[in-house]
Chains A and B, each alone.
Chain A
């Protein structure tokens, strides 16, 4: 009798597990479907961008306005972060290099790290947080308050006016910000070196420039155009296609940062692979 009860319980458990498994299949099915729909929508959005960016009339005034807003207003944050990164990297690296008696390599090591990787990636991540979320929230809020519809009624192509200008601005401005961040990062590193030592600016920067090659700088700047494009595009996509309602504004801003940051790492990984292949 006990055995029968045990078997019955076991069977019920199995049935419940099967049900759970089935529901997890359904969930994963809907997740996959959502993922592919999202990829498809972003692809369509990107293709529309390339179609609209080449088609006149060009929105130069709005492009300039957005470039100013995106670039100038992000500059203080980028400069402060770049300085701190350079300073901290130098202070943290010094003890390890000192252990191996390679302290003299400090300027070269920090410079290569900042120029090749840390400068572009950290700046892009900050840019995604500030500009990507800003674009997402702004366009989503315009969507909620029917401003995008109003633009369409005023004989204006809202995609061209709002999306194309923001994506182009982000693409062009991020490389400039990265150059600023790199320069300030090296300055921060110089300050870091002088906290526990006494190195002249001439000596420090000649060490830095001796260690750097064109092959360090060029790929690092090229990839920032792609970072900027991805951040602008994802921010615009999330905002422009947000659901109606105030909740949609928050979601658009949040998911713009998350996806844009993820894209920065993905592009960086691909860029590093391509660079190393080309250098070999």
Chain B
């Protein structure tokens, strides 16, 4: 366990086994005078679930948005599948982004489309030559994965909060991503549904062997899903370790997350 450091040493991360899928070195991002990410260093290994904890407004969501190019980084290095993102051309970037799935905090379902159309949309955009029958098979499989087979013809407004999250997950899984980014997957859900979503995250990891970054405040979700945890404070990685390590941390601020 490393804690109270201004940055996590990458050498320590590399001690773990497995291929590094995502790597951030001295990543910085500011919005005007608001320095959200000051010096972020982290790695995610293949098949690993990395949970990022931190108070609201510490830039956790910004951090994962940097990975998919929704937010541009100011300084530092971002490596995905061993390739430096800043050195890649647009076409190469698109190829990389196709391997990344993003579950938004709100689910980000397209309100004007039905459940089926929501799932068809990424397929139509990214696999333009795919036939309708092939699409139907993938849609059915994705809905089965999240237990929403019967909701196929409903509209997003007819779904509950948990169902919306599951549909958001299905829409992401349909493209078989290698990296999954979860932005507060259990926020706004009751404890039972939260547990269901957390279990679903684990099932996804097992079935698709995805590497995941999970942004959450939910300590139950963290306990269920985390292989490793990083705590962000004041724009830097303040602590890193397993759930058991951080739970017994000598730092009362870090311990407060687990109480």
Decide if A145 is an interface residue (CB 8 Å cutoff).
yes
Residues of A with C-beta under 8 A to B70: 149, 152-153
A156 to B110, CA, bound (A): 13
Decide yes or no: A155 and B125 within 8 Å by CB, A147-B111, A149-B70 being known contacts: yes
The distance from the CB of A51 to the nearest CB of chain B, in whole angstroms, is 15
Decide if A146 is an interface residue (CB 8 Å cutoff).
yes
A71 to B170, CA, bound (A): 34
* A155–B94 CB distance below 8 A: yes
Decide if A150 is an interface residue (CB 8 Å cutoff).
yes
Decide if B105 is an interface residue (CB 8 Å cutoff).
yes
Q: Beta-carbon contacts of A111-149 to B below 8 Å, as 1s and 0s?
A: 000000000000000000000000000100110011101
Decide if A154 is an interface residue (CB 8 Å cutoff).
yes
Number of interface residues of B (CB under 8 A): 21
A108 to B68, CA, bound (A): 63
The distance from the CB of A161 to the nearest CB of chain B, in whole angstroms, is 9
Decide if B182 is an interface residue (CB 8 Å cutoff).
no
From B102, B109, B111, B112, contact of A153 by CB (8 A): B102
Scoring A138, A154, A156 by chain B CB atoms within 10 A of each residue's CB, the highest score goes to: A154
Decide if B88 is an interface residue (CB 8 Å cutoff).
no
A154 to B108, CA, bound (A): 12
Size range of the chain A interface in the assembly: 10 to 19
Q: Which residue of B lies closest to A152 (CB)?
A: B70
A142 to B68, CA, bound (A): 19
Residues of B with C-beta under 8 A to A141: 111
* B105–A155 CB distance below 8 A: no
Q: Beta-carbon contacts of B85-109 to A below 8 Å, as 1s and 0s?
A: 0000000001001101010111011
Which B residues, 58 to 76, have Cβ-Cβ distances below 8 Å to chain A? 65, 68-70
Scoring A141, A142, A150 by chain B CB atoms within 10 A of each residue's CB, the highest score goes to: A150
Residues of B with C-beta under 8 A to A156: 121, 125
Decide yes or no: A155 and B104 within 8 Å by CB, A147-B111, A149-B70 being known contacts: no
Residues of B with C-beta under 8 A to A146: 104-106, 108
A243 to B106, CA, bound (A): 17
Decide yes or no: A145 and B108 within 8 Å by CB, A150-B102, A153-B70, A153-B97 being known contacts: yes
Q: Which residue of B lies closest to A65 (CB)?
A: B112
A89 to B111, CA, bound (A): 42
* A147–B110 CB distance below 8 A: yes
Decide yes or no: A155 and B106 within 8 Å by CB, A147-B111, A149-B70 being known contacts: no
The distance from the CB of B182 to the nearest CB of chain A, in whole angstroms, is 13
Decide if B161 is an interface residue (CB 8 Å cutoff).
no
A150 to B105, CA, bound (A): 11
A153 to B68, CA, bound (A): 7
Residues of A with C-beta under 8 A to B98: 155
Q: Which residue of B lies closest to A144 (CB)?
A: B106
A35 to B16, CA, bound (A): 55
Decide if B19 is an interface residue (CB 8 Å cutoff).
no
Decide if B126 is an interface residue (CB 8 Å cutoff).
yes
* B111–A155 CB distance below 8 A: no
Residues of B with C-beta under 8 A to A150: 102, 104, 108, 110
* A149–B121 CB distance below 8 A: no
Q: Which residue of B lies closest to A141 (CB)?
A: B111
A54 to B231, CA, bound (A): 47
The distance from the CB of A198 to the nearest CB of chain B, in whole angstroms, is 51
Q: Which residue of A lies closest to B68 (CB)?
A: A153
* A149–B104 CB distance below 8 A: yes
Which B residues, 123 to 169, have Cβ-Cβ distances below 8 Å to chain A? 125-126
The distance from the CB of A129 to the nearest CB of chain B, in whole angstroms, is 21
* A145–B126 CB distance below 8 A: no
The distance from the CB of A146 to the nearest CB of chain B, in whole angstroms, is 4
Decide if B241 is an interface residue (CB 8 Å cutoff).
no
Q: Which residue of A lies closest to B123 (CB)?
A: A154
A156 to B127, CA, bound (A): 12
8 closest A-B pairs by beta carbon, nearest first, are: A150-B108, A146-B108, A154-B122, A146-B104, A153-B102, A156-B125, A145-B106, A155-B126
Q: Supply 20 further A-B pairs (C-beta < 8 A) apart from A142-B111, A146-B106, A153-B100.
A: A138-B112, A145-B109, A146-B105, A146-B108, A147-B108, A147-B109, A147-B110, A147-B111, A149-B65, A149-B70, A149-B104, A150-B104, A150-B108, A152-B70, A153-B68, A154-B121, A154-B125, A155-B97, A155-B125, A156-B125
Residues of A within 8 A of B (CB): 138, 141-142, 145-147, 149-150, 152-156
Listed by A's residue number, 9 A-B pairs whose Cβ atoms lie within 8 Å are A145-B108, A146-B106, A147-B109, A150-B102, A150-B104, A152-B70, A153-B70, A154-B125, A155-B98
